Structure 1
Amino acid sequence: MASRFTRLTTVVPQLTRGYAAAANPKAPLALFGLDGRYATALYIAAARQNALDAVEKDLKSFESIVSKDKALGSFLENPTISLKEKKESIRSLLAKSGKAHNLTENFFETLAENGRLPQTSKVIESYGELMSAHRNELPLVITSAKELDKSTLNKIVDSLQKSPLAEGKKLLVSNKVKTDILGGLLVEIGDKSIDLTVSSKLNKLNKLVTGKS
């Protein structure tokens, strides 16, 4: 089991031969935990093969298929089902969206052999974080009581893009609607947050009035 995972991180394929810059790639972000280690290993192996985008596409397709079929997800995570059956199912799933990259196939076999399929979603999410860092992207989530119109959203994004909070990175914008904030905005940019919601202000006022901390 360990040997397959080791090969995943050390194989230097034909696509990277002659390219010194790709010989010893490094992850653009330090991730921790089991999912972080697997995602980092896959990222480095994919970087060596110039296959970062291809692997990301495979992972997104796989995640999309499994997320729509809860029974399938349970099947893959069931410890009583044989490794052979799981491998065959994974190959079939990957084939649904076309020919998957060999690294992707090898990666999922590694997860299956090591009994780590339940970690699949977290690993895919971690790989996505690495790809965002690779593309110099920074997630920006703006939560509002109702969907913001395009003009308002653009003004907020433009203002934040020019601020030090953006760190000079490209902002990946999403607008979430959460009615219980009552009004105002909750801005989450990278690992920072700015709470300008009405509900937050009311909570602070209530604590001030009641004397509760």
Structure 2
Amino acid sequence: MLKSGSVLLLRRALPLRRLLNSRFIATTVSPRIGAIAHERLSPSPTTPPPFRNEIKFFASTPEQDHIEVPLFIPGVVGKYAKALFITAVRSGALETVESELKQVVEAAHNSPTFADFLKDLSVPKEVRVKAVLDIFGETAFSDVTKNFLAVLAENGRLRLLEKMVMAYSEIIMAYKGQVKATITTALELTPQELEGLRTALKGYVKPNQSLVVNQQVDRSIIGGLVIDVEDKHIDLSVENRIRQIEQVIKEAFGEI
């Protein structure tokens, strides 16, 4: 687990721009993690706890009532993503907040130290909040993003950040009338092939919607392609065809 000394190291040495630098993590952060074990953080008694009032950020207010959230996502993740969306709409910072939070998620992917900090519930609340304020206070992030991260730190929800960012992105897509289509192939498609599939799929979205196509490569499907559009799943892979043939043979001849 990430102890308070490691959090202190994060506070002193890891503004986001350096978290994203994997060389810095490998050569500077990792060797020093074990060396700091006893020093603890505590909030300054003369400094009022920042962002404390931002907890209301998650409560419904008359100002928020007229903002319609176009996609329902259940659970805690959905609750936070919805509140973030409402706040970002009111601040005119939808895409800005999305981009900034994706940078934070990327930083966690690149730094095991930072990822441990996000997950470690043993770190006291005041330590988490202070570390987040110090780390992200050195960035040019929007107030909405900083406040959101501080609230997550205060409420012990930092470990859910990546899921919340994914949910927030889904809400933004719905807000813009965008439909995500994921095309999985064994080999990367040419631009012409991808455009042909995009054109073919346009007939399956509503006139007021736009299609956002994402291609991914999975060699295990052997050949063909797999298409996912919203709740529709079309498996035209060679792997699936082989499974179907195996099932027909099993039904015809029984277990061998």
| TM-score, normalised by the number of residues in structure 1 | 0.84
Instruction: Tell whether the 8 Å contact from 1:8 to 1:107 is kept in structure 2 after alignment.
Output: no
Partner in structure 1 of residue 216 of structure 2: 176
Alpha-carbon distance, 1:23 to partner: 7.2
Partner in structure 2 of residue 19 of structure 1: none
Write the distance in 1 (CA, Å) between the matches of 2:206 and 2:135: 39
Which among 62, 75, 81 is matched to residue 39 of structure 1? Answer: 81
Larger Rg: 2
Which among 162, 174, 199 is matched to residue 158 of structure 1? Answer: 199
RMSD over aligned Cα atoms: 2.4
Instruction: Tell whether the 8 Å contact from 2:58 to 2:80 is kept in structure 1 after alignment.
Output: no
Between the two structures, name the one with larger relative contact order (CA 8 Å, sep ≥ 6).
2
Alpha-carbon distance, 1:167 to partner: 2.6
Q: Does residue 74 of structure 2 align to residue 74 of structure 1?
A: no
Question: 1:192 and 1:173, CA in 2 relative to 1: closer, same or farther beyond 3 A?
Answer: same
Q: Does residue 165 of structure 2 align to residue 124 of structure 1?
A: yes
Alpha-carbon distance, 1:81 to partner: 1.6
Write the distance in 2 (CA, Å) between the matches of 1:88 and 1:36: 26
Structure 2 counterparts to residues 1-213 of structure 1, below 5 A? 4-10=54-60, 24-95=66-137, 98-161=139-202, 163=203, 165-168=204-207, 169-211=209-251
Alpha-carbon distance, 1:82 to partner: 2.5
Q: Which ranges of structure 2 fall in alignment gaps of 5 or more residues? A: 1-50
Question: Identity over the aligned pairs, expressed in percent?
Answer: 26
Question: 1:33 and 1:180, CA in 2 relative to 1: closer, same or farther beyond 3 A?
Answer: same
Partner in structure 1 of residue 14 of structure 2: none
| TM-score, normalised by the number of residues in structure 2 | 0.71
Instruction: Tell whether the 8 Å contact from 1:141 to 1:176 is kept in structure 2 after alignment.
Output: yes
**SS across alignment from 1:42:** helix
Instruction: Tell whether the 8 Å contact from 1:10 to 1:45 is kept in structure 2 after alignment.
Output: no
Instruction: Tell whether the 8 Å contact from 1:166 to 1:189 is kept in structure 2 after alignment.
Output: no
Write the distance in 2 (CA, Å) between the matches of 1:127 and 1:35: 9
The one-letter code matched in structure 1 to 2:237 is T
**SS across alignment from 1:183:** coil
Aligned residues: 201
